[in-house]
Structure 1
Amino acid sequence: MRIPDEQRGPHRGEAHAGSVASRLNWLRAAVLGANDGIISTAGLVVGVAAATTDAGAIATAGIAGLTAGAVSMALGEYVSVSSQRDTERALIAKERDELSSLPDEELTELVGLLEARGLSSGTALLVADELTRSDALGAHLTFELGIDQEHLANPWAAAGSSAAAFAVGAVLPLVAILLPPAAVRIPVAFVAVIVALALTGLLSAHLGGAAKGVAVVRLLVGGALAMAVTFAIGHLLGVAVG
């Protein structure tokens, strides 16, 4: 009896959909990392620019903030994804052991998982039997745990992409505050940051399927508030020192 493709478990179309979803998740993470870089660096350089007109001091603070932020993002992402990968590997090893020591129980479990997806008992048994003979571990990882052992999380890739995204975002406010004349540095940087946040907010909302207006307003309010607070602090410190 030939089992219809839709009853065979993951197939080429589902694998492609999973790949697309994975790429969208990475892109969404990159956009969020860039947002962090924009907001944190903008707040830093605006605060320093409010305290002094010395371009060297502003550049030093901005570059230091960019470097520290990128390293922090990379380290945090590396630790987080490494923990995720370790967990996935432990689950794979556990499932492999169970398949070796309890094959009948695992087959029954797979039948139950397939039935839960809408297959009849007879069809579920046929599908489970074929999947077990073909790739028992892969079937259980997919239907029971939602893990693809061929595409486990990569902590180095996650760390690198997070650091790069943060750095790209941080460059914009740094350039925007250093290139204009001292008299208009802060207004130019403020406008540039607001525009950048609006664009990244639209993109992140589109990728996440969220309401664009809410996402953009949230980012704009947060970014404007961060720059306003650091500007006030920098201005007060500059006046006090002066």
Structure 2
Amino acid sequence: MFSIGDFARLGLVSVRMLRHYDAIGLLRPAQVDPVTGYRSYQAAQLSRLNRIVAIKDLGFTLEQVSTILDEKVSAEELHGMVRLRRAQLEAQISADLARLRGVETRLRTIETEGRLGAAEVVLKSVSPVRVAELSARAASYEAEDIGPVIGPLFGELCRRVEAAGVRVTGPGVAYYEEEDDGSVMVHACLPAAADSGDFTIVDLPRIDTAATIIHQGAMEAAGPTFQALAHWIEENGFRALDLAREVSLHCPDNRDEWVTELQIAVTPA
């Protein structure tokens, strides 16, 4: 038998926690001295304590822990619960990191306001181009919604184009269309010498005048560049048309080294 202090030390929990578990009937001492009230525990009770702590740390309430233990959860089932909870936590961490990157991008946008030089924007015409295209829907224009859609979309498009033996004739192009419900249709395109395949063939129209700027870095950090381009368009007497594209000029594994040309069709205001 072990005193409550020794049992707490062996189980890596606090004495206060053991007393609480006793009070709610989750883990009763093996013996309580009728005179002193001292609690004593058996080594075999460490097994139940381990399960209590593991299940509680998965995010369950103590009431739920009690119910799960009453159902005599096995070690294998516990491992399954851990795997599920790990996946949930990893998804939450990814979402939090994406949100943090978004905040950092907004801060960079604020810091760089008004710093864009006129030489950074180029007005030019964009020739029409035939592309192989795949499309999918994103919830919004927010980076955490677009990113998980556009990346896999280009990956799948590359796979299908390669499987079809189609020759790619230029850099990848992305464009977006807002739907009536506020969602966004994401289009991933590869200029290709093809008339058919396991993808859609689309002829992207000519842009007579496009205001263009080069963005260097991952696209989720493109906010400052897009907004700088918007300021230039307005300040130089142009009006943006509902036609914009992103042309991937250089896409190495390191996303911070990406080079993308942002194009917005414009007309004199």
TM-score of the superposed pair, with normalisation by structure 2:
0.21
Structure with bigger strand share is 2
Higher gyration radius (CA) = 2
Structure with bigger helix share is 1
